[in-house]
Amino acid sequence: MTALASWTFFAGEEYLNPSKTDLENKKIELENKRMIEGLITFIIEIDSFRLPVIMGIGPYSLKIRLTSLSKQEQKYLFARRNQEIYQKIQEKIDPFLQEGIYSNLINPDPNEYFLRYSLRFNRNYQRMINLKNDSHYKRFRFTQIDSGFSFISYIAISLFVIIILAKFMSLYVNINQNNLFILIISSFILIYLFFTFISTRRRRIAGEKYKNDLRLVVQDLIDYGIKLIKENDLDLDLSIKLRHNGYRGLIYEKNGKNEYVARFEN
């Protein structure tokens, strides 16, 4: 008991008073892990652009969207600390984004003013706005693709259409509570289906045109991730949820059709 008490005392003292070097190493290790998480998020996003495309008004499934939104800080950290590879990837993928995703209604180009205004409370995007006079301003814009704006735009357009229809119908029809409810529900559904068809078709056409480029971009990011892990001597067990399994440098675990869980090879 005495030996156990002594060990607990001294171990506790060491734990409660870590050295400055230990704290610095822990901080670096945590930041490196967050950076790799940002890299993995980019891999997941770009892989999801490949055929067969995901149906919807946005380019991501709900699962990928939630992952992306929760990893915005990590994505920005990776982009900031690895600007050369990030800029290279952004230039490669930009033709697909311009033809397959960006539009004036649902997924606006991040360079357009109203999108920057709508996301003015987004901390990462605010940093980009502060850099707008910098020659490297555009280098971080891919970190903000579809940060939920497609659904905000969809709701805004739907409400606008509902108001116009309600105003028009009030001239000819007595709008009661039931009629208004049917109008609202049908408008949301029809507009969603309309934008889903248009957006999915655009991504499918662009995905077919740039299918090899998208695959190579994902492979470049995987190769770079392996390089970062080796250079920083990281011991990470982070999973990568993908829709395709043809990449080198990963160990795969099949989950289902277009659902794979992969990890970097040691």
Q: Is the pLDDT of residue 130 over 80?
A: no
Of these ranges, 1-5, 100-104, 257-261, the one predicted with the greatest mean pLDDT is 257-261
Q: What is the mean pLDDT of residues 59-78?
A: 84
For 7-50, write each residue's pLDDT tens digit: 454 555 444 566 766 667 677 778 888 999 999 999 999 999 99
Q: What is the pLDDT of residue 129?
A: 47
Q: What is the mean pLDDT of residues 63-79?
A: 84
- Inter-residue contact 249 to 264 (CB < 8 Å): yes
Q: What is the pLDDT of residue 75?
A: 87
Lowest mean pLDDT: which of 28-42, 78-92, 97-111? 97-111
Among 37, 67, 46, 36, which Cα is nearest to 243's?
Answer: 46
For the packed helices 83-100 and 177-209, what is the interaxial angle rounded to 10 degrees?
120
Q: What is the pLDDT of residue 18?
A: 67
Tokens 């171990």 appear where? 11
Beta partners for 240? 262
Q: Is the pLDDT of residue 97 over 70?
A: yes
- Which contacts qualify for 200-206: CB closer than 8 Å, 24 or more apart? 200/53, 200/54, 200/55, 200/56, 202/99, 202/100, 202/101, 202/103, 203/49, 203/53, 203/54, 203/59, 203/100, 203/101, 204/51, 204/52, 204/53, 205/99, 205/100, 206/96, 206/99, 206/100, 206/101
Q: What is the pLDDT of residue 121?
A: 40
- Give the type of residue at 145: I
| Mean pLDDT taken over the chain | 77
Share of the chain above pLDDT 70, in %: 71
Distances 133 to 6, 82, 130, 170 between C-alpha atoms, Å: 61, 21, 8, 50
For 176-212, write each residue's pLDDT tens digit: 777 777 878 888 888 888 888 988 999 999 999 999 9
Q: What is the pLDDT of residue 135?
A: 44
Q: What is the pLDDT of residue 104?
A: 62
**Residue 234 three-state SS:** coil
Q: What is the pLDDT of residue 255?
A: 76
**Residue 97 three-state SS:** helix
CA 189, 114, 79, 217 dihedral sign is: positive
pTM comes to 0.76
